[in-house]
A and B are shown apart, each in its own frame.
Chain A
Amino acid sequence: MLFNSFEFIIFFPIVVAAYLILPKRIKPVWLLLSSYFFYMCWNAKYIVLILFSTLVTYLTAILIDRERPAKVRKAILACGITLNLLVLFLFKYFDFFLSNISHITEKIGMGSLSNPFSFVLPVGISFYTFQAVGYVIDVYRGDVKAEKNIINYALFVSFFPQLVAGPIERSKNLLTQIKSIREKNLFSYDSMVSGFGLMLWGMLLKTMIADRAAVFVDNIFSTYSMYGTVELVFGALLFTLQIYADFSGYSAIAIGAARVMGINLCTNFNTPYFATSIADFWARWHISLSTWFKDYVYIPLGGNRKGKVRKYINLIITFLVSGLWHGASWNYVAWGLLHGLYRVIGEVTGSIRAKAYDALHVKKDVFSYNLLKRLITFVLVAFAWIFFRARSLKVAVGYIHRMFTRFNPWALFDESLFLHGLDRREFAILAYMIALLLIVSFLTYKKKQDVGVLLAEQNLWFRWTVYVAVIVGVLVFGEYGVNFESAKFIYFDF
């Protein structure tokens, strides 16, 4: 069940209405059943994987939480994590792993290997696996106590708003709130209003920007060898907007849906394209994953505590793993590596750049300096997204090569840009929506509040006008329905 589907429009109010009416002790059970139903709408049998992950990490945490020798606790932790990651490996990475081995065995004349398993990637497996693993590590570290109530814990792993594409929640935040459902009324009218506004904003981002841009992007990337610099640059730039609108839109709906029920999920995006450096970008993009990697990969590797060289190596490793997390393919690895290199190069050249600026008397506290930094960061990120969007590393390289070698500036003027799925009217709608995104991003950046909160603060007439305009706008101008196939959220595949 997609957030931007009519099924969800029916499902969600029913869940919320029953959640409000039911006695407190039943509420977690109701949310758990609703979450399982939500997940099973995709593939009922894969619920087994969630149950397995839930049970393994639940027992692991309880076993760790008892007083035992450190070695035993470590061994239990290792077993629990390994079992979880094994499932992830089997379903997500085994085919990639085997095809690479097979490539090698073919080269050395041993023939190819066939995959005995043929699975469809379970939706959201990377998200709930990481959430569950994070919880076990938190218990091991003593940051949280092991949850004894299986319903509470199962709901923590499978809470439907964030089950399939995050945010990847920490037990300190989400589990604590779930535990309190039985004790106090989390719901409030204000949170409902704010959550509803945020959900609408997410719907707008998804259906009006992401899915509209996708029409152009899909056309360009699928037949990139037909185009020149202008189309390919537009393709890359629109994908940069598409993936942001798609994923931040999903996160907004997820956070908003949870907030309607009085549950606060962590912030996942904070105007990432306003970032002034790659480090700043990663502090604003998919924050729940970035902090997960920081806490559970980068810092355990030593972080910046073991010298500069080791820090750079740790950064590269973390970004490589992050790339692999996004997909079992070399183009994702390349994307991660590129971001790792951006970070390392940024660190290495930091002092040199600072000296150069001083020597050239570059003013740093002016608008133009910040704008340039933001633009450079945006271009670097957009360039890296080419690797992310391409079907393979080969396609990414081919795309970039063509982008730099087939200069066709006339395409900006001969209207050929309107021939790739978006006509003039569709382009105009997309342009208006991007302008709206820019304005709203600027407001949220300045006010340090999300759209839902900003809207909830407004007078009733304004709020209602915005709600109605967005709902009608999405219903009429949103990309969905019979002639539209790519409605799935991009991050469901990770």
Chain B
Amino acid sequence: MKLIKNQKLGNTVKFIAFIILLSIIILSVYNVLKWKDTTGDYCSSIEQLYNTDKDLIDVVFVGSSHVYCGIYPSILWEKSGISAFDMSVSGQDKYSAYHQIKELLKTQSPKVIFVDIYGLFSDKHDSEGNLYRNLLSMKTSKNSIDLVNDYFEDNEGDKSNFFYRWPIIHTRYKELSRYDFRNNKLNSILRGERIGFNTGSDISPILQFDFDPAELSDKNIAWLNSLYDLSVQKGFKLVLMKTPINGGPFFQSIMDAASQYAESKNIDFIDFNRMADELCLDMGSDFIDGNHVNAYGAAKVTGYLNDYINTNFSLADHRGDSRYHQWDEDLKYYNHEEFLNNLQYVNDLHDLHEALSSEAGADFLAIISVENTDSIINLSHDTCEKLSEFGMAYSEITEGGKWLYSGNTLTKLLDNDSSEGIKCIDLNEFDSLCVRFSGDGSLGNIVIGNDDYSNQDVYVNIVIYDNYLYETAMQKKY
């Protein structure tokens, strides 16, 4: 009898141990396969929210890509020490906006929440990717289940796939990459924004329309009411807004209707379209495309919001408070991106050396390769002089070779006539640099990761590697 009892106990222990083991493994695999993107390139504002320390956020901007492209918390931090966060996901629908605010309120107690009313323009996602970004990014909880239920109450589709998630995410085994196995550091650094300096072309100007406001649908009114009720219930100030968008008369009539709604509820409403001239928004320089401002446009929009917040709310300036170090990191990243953007326009070798030797340049590595030295006469004296500023002797330049310039220090990697064959160094946890000399202009002479950056038909080749973002930033050839 005792033997049977012991056997039963042993079997139960085995069973429980197996379930625990299986759960751990399945959870680990889930973490690899799970959806990790709300703005592209493995950047997730939801992850950034989860990585933000508790009870630090004072201001939240909720919306779609218009928000993460147009409002930079780093600028608010730099200007006034405001701890802001962009709770923005590509194509954010109204259901997601509401539940993502609820998710944020689980750990944060913001004083003001600005909601971009883009959700009023559509009830469903046309892009499968945006549907996944919005419905699969939150941790599984009652709130995430409520979001799926609310979305599919008004839209067709198999919501069980979004509850279980595996039916959607398991096919990601075909596209796994480095950030599925290692955290993207931007998800720890950023506070929701997506910084971009590129400028679109041929963008039509934002026109002003003065038609009668449209009538808001019942769903839209219900959504706005739910936001208002939530603000009353949770005690934050709700502000409605619309970031600049080249939407035409239909969009403007909806925005005007939202403005009327806001007035009826005594909610502030900021229509950046109506303020395009006041903010001097230039379609030629401040926009990525018709619907998204770039970093220059974002500086204007965020600058206005900075003034608006300072005028209407008395929020504490948190600069210098170590608990808010994540906003310092955020600002550092902004500066890094700005530096990187400027660096691409630096072509003179002297200026390049100056830039890379600066404080901001310390995040970059430069792999300098000189080849075709038999005809080095083609390389101007000026170029050789400027190259020697990096620290190499003139004679070394004429002999050719590969160097690594980092933090004002030059290291010789390989002579062109070296018998070493190949030299490899690990740049970081992801990328390795391998240099060799298989002949002037040969492929494979400089390889980072799986990409070839060899000189080919140039004398001096400088590959600039961003060791802050772990990626090759640019290549300069002379």
Please state if A472 and B160 are interface contacts (CB–CB under 8 Å).
no
Please state if B170 and A475 are interface contacts (CB–CB under 8 Å).
yes
Interchain CA distance A471-B167 in the complex, whole Å: 14
Please state if A471 and B22 are interface contacts (CB–CB under 8 Å).
yes
- B323 near A: Cβ within 8 Å? no
- A305 near B: Cβ within 8 Å? no
**Distance of A152 from chain B, by nearest CB (Å):** 28
Please state if A464 and B21 are interface contacts (CB–CB under 8 Å).
yes
Chain B residues with Cβ under 8 A from A477's Cβ? 170, 173
- B260 near A: Cβ within 8 Å? no
- B25 near A: Cβ within 8 Å? yes
Chain B residues with Cβ under 8 A from A482's Cβ? 158, 161, 167-168, 171
- Which one, A6, A7, A425, A464, contacts B166 given CB within 8 A? A6
- A481 near B: Cβ within 8 Å? yes
Per the 8 Å Cβ criterion, residues 21-74 of A in contact with B are none
- Which one, A189, A460, A467, A483, contacts B22 given CB within 8 A? A467
Per the 8 Å Cβ criterion, residues 1-54 of B in contact with A are 7-8, 11, 14, 18, 21-22, 25-26, 29, 33
Chain A residues with Cβ under 8 A from B164's Cβ? 6
Chain B residues with Cβ under 8 A from A122's Cβ? none
- A12 near B: Cβ within 8 Å? no
- B174 near A: Cβ within 8 Å? yes
Please state if B170 and A481 are interface contacts (CB–CB under 8 Å).
yes
Please state if B170 and A476 are interface contacts (CB–CB under 8 Å).
yes
Chain B residues with Cβ under 8 A from A476's Cβ? 29, 33, 170, 173
- A293 near B: Cβ within 8 Å? no
Per the 8 Å Cβ criterion, residues 473-490 of A in contact with B are 475-478, 480-483
**Distance of B162 from chain A, by nearest CB (Å):** 10
- A468 near B: Cβ within 8 Å? yes
Kindly supply a per-residue 1/0 record for chain A positions 184-224, scoring 1 wherever the CB is within 8 Å of any chain B CB and 0 otherwise.
00000100000000000000000000000000000000000
Interchain CA distance A189-B18 in the complex, whole Å: 14
- Which one, B14, B22, B26, B167, contacts A481 given CB within 8 A? B167
Chain A residues with Cβ under 8 A from B174's Cβ? 425
Closest Cβ neighbor of B166 among chain A residues: A475
Please tell me the number of chain B residues within 8 Å of chain A, measured between CB atoms.
22
Interface size for chain A: under 10, 10 to 19, 20 to 34, or 35 or more residues?
A: 10 to 19
Chain B residues with Cβ under 8 A from A483's Cβ? 171
**Distance of A261 from chain B, by nearest CB (Å):** 15
Interchain CA distance A52-B170 in the complex, whole Å: 42
**Distance of B177 from chain A, by nearest CB (Å):** 15
- Which one, A7, A464, A467, A475, contacts B29 given CB within 8 A? A475
Interchain CA distance A155-B324 in the complex, whole Å: 65
Please state if A472 and B25 are interface contacts (CB–CB under 8 Å).
yes
Closest Cβ neighbor of A429 among chain B residues: B173
- Which one, A460, A471, A475, contacts B14 given CB within 8 A? A460
Chain A residues with Cβ under 8 A from B167's Cβ? 6, 480-482
Kindly supply a per-residue 1/0 record for chain A positions 457-475, scoring 1 wherever the CB is within 8 Å of any chain B CB and 0 otherwise.
0001000100110011001
**Distance of B26 from chain A, by nearest CB (Å):** 7
**Distance of B41 from chain A, by nearest CB (Å):** 23
Chain B residues with Cβ under 8 A from A478's Cβ? 170
Interchain CA distance A472-B174 in the complex, whole Å: 15
Interchain CA distance A88-B7 in the complex, whole Å: 49
Chain A residues with Cβ under 8 A from B171's Cβ? 481-483
Chain A residues with Cβ under 8 A from B170's Cβ? 475-478, 480-481
Chain A residues with Cβ under 8 A from B21's Cβ? 464, 468
Please state if B161 and A481 are interface contacts (CB–CB under 8 Å).
yes
Chain A residues with Cβ under 8 A from B158's Cβ? 482
Please state if A472 and B29 are interface contacts (CB–CB under 8 Å).
yes
Interchain CA distance A425-B22 in the complex, whole Å: 27
Interchain CA distance A467-B25 in the complex, whole Å: 12
Kindly supply a per-residue 1/0 record for chain B positions 138-175, scoring 1 wherever the CB is within 8 Å of any chain A CB and 0 otherwise.
00000000000000000000101100101110110110
Interchain CA distance A156-B133 in the complex, whole Å: 48
Closest Cβ neighbor of B8 among chain A residues: A189
Closest Cβ neighbor of A469 among chain B residues: B25
**Distance of B129 from chain A, by nearest CB (Å):** 13
Kindly supply a per-residue 1/0 record for chain A positions 261-284, scoring 1 wherever the CB is within 8 Å of any chain B CB and 0 otherwise.
000000000000000000000000
Kindly supply a per-residue 1/0 record for chain B positions 381-393, scoring 1 wherever the CB is within 8 Å of any chain A CB and 0 otherwise.
0000000000000
Chain A residues with Cβ under 8 A from B22's Cβ? 467-468, 471
Interchain CA distance A481-B168 in the complex, whole Å: 6
Most A Cβ at <10 Å: residue of B8, B166, B171: B171
Closest Cβ neighbor of B12 among chain A residues: A189
Please state if B26 and A467 are interface contacts (CB–CB under 8 Å).
no
Closest Cβ neighbor of A478 among chain B residues: B170
Closest Cβ neighbor of B29 among chain A residues: A472
Chain B residues with Cβ under 8 A from A481's Cβ? 161, 166-168, 170-171
Interchain CA distance A460-B15 in the complex, whole Å: 11
**Distance of B172 from chain A, by nearest CB (Å):** 9
Chain B residues with Cβ under 8 A from A467's Cβ? 18, 22
**Distance of A190 from chain B, by nearest CB (Å):** 9
Interchain CA distance A150-B161 in the complex, whole Å: 39
Closest Cβ neighbor of A471 among chain B residues: B22
Interchain CA distance A30-B173 in the complex, whole Å: 40
**Distance of A486 from chain B, by nearest CB (Å):** 14
Chain B residues with Cβ under 8 A from A425's Cβ? 174
Interchain CA distance A477-B173 in the complex, whole Å: 8
Please state if A472 and B18 are interface contacts (CB–CB under 8 Å).
no
**Distance of A418 from chain B, by nearest CB (Å):** 14
**Distance of B237 from chain A, by nearest CB (Å):** 40
Chain A residues with Cβ under 8 A from B166's Cβ? 6, 475, 481
Interchain CA distance A478-B164 in the complex, whole Å: 15
Please state if B160 and A6 are interface contacts (CB–CB under 8 Å).
yes
Please state if A468 and B161 are interface contacts (CB–CB under 8 Å).
no
Chain B residues with Cβ under 8 A from A472's Cβ? 25-26, 29
Please state if B11 and A189 are interface contacts (CB–CB under 8 Å).
yes
Chain A residues with Cβ under 8 A from B25's Cβ? 468, 472
**Distance of A467 from chain B, by nearest CB (Å):** 7
Closest Cβ neighbor of B128 among chain A residues: A482
Chain A residues with Cβ under 8 A from B18's Cβ? 464, 467
Chain B residues with Cβ under 8 A from A7's Cβ? 160
Per the 8 Å Cβ criterion, residues 170-194 of A in contact with B are 189
Closest Cβ neighbor of B167 among chain A residues: A481
Chain A residues with Cβ under 8 A from B168's Cβ? 481-482
Closest Cβ neighbor of B30 among chain A residues: A475
**Distance of A262 from chain B, by nearest CB (Å):** 14
Interchain CA distance A468-B21 in the complex, whole Å: 9
Interchain CA distance A477-B29 in the complex, whole Å: 12
Most B Cβ at <10 Å: residue of A425, A468, A472, A476: A476
Interchain CA distance A6-B164 in the complex, whole Å: 8
Interchain CA distance A464-B22 in the complex, whole Å: 9
**Distance of A227 from chain B, by nearest CB (Å):** 25
Closest Cβ neighbor of B158 among chain A residues: A482
Chain B residues with Cβ under 8 A from A460's Cβ? 14
**Distance of A492 from chain B, by nearest CB (Å):** 19
Closest Cβ neighbor of B17 among chain A residues: A464
Per the 8 Å Cβ criterion, residues 266-302 of B in contact with A are none
Interchain CA distance A492-B37 in the complex, whole Å: 39
Interchain CA distance A181-B71 in the complex, whole Å: 68
Chain A residues with Cβ under 8 A from B7's Cβ? 189
Interchain CA distance A189-B174 in the complex, whole Å: 38
Chain B residues with Cβ under 8 A from A471's Cβ? 22, 26
**Distance of B350 from chain A, by nearest CB (Å):** 49
Interchain CA distance A472-B30 in the complex, whole Å: 10
Interchain CA distance A475-B7 in the complex, whole Å: 32
Chain A residues with Cβ under 8 A from B11's Cβ? 189
10 other A-B residue contacts (CB within 8 Å) besides A467-B22, A471-B26, A480-B170: A6-B166, A425-B174, A468-B21, A472-B26, A476-B33, A476-B170, A476-B173, A481-B171, A482-B167, A482-B168
27 contacts between A and B (CB under 8 A): A6-B164, A6-B167, A7-B160, A189-B7, A189-B8, A425-B174, A460-B14, A464-B21, A468-B21, A468-B25, A471-B26, A472-B25, A472-B26, A472-B29, A475-B26, A475-B29, A475-B170, A476-B170, A477-B170, A480-B167, A480-B170, A481-B161, A481-B166, A481-B168, A482-B158, A482-B168, A482-B171
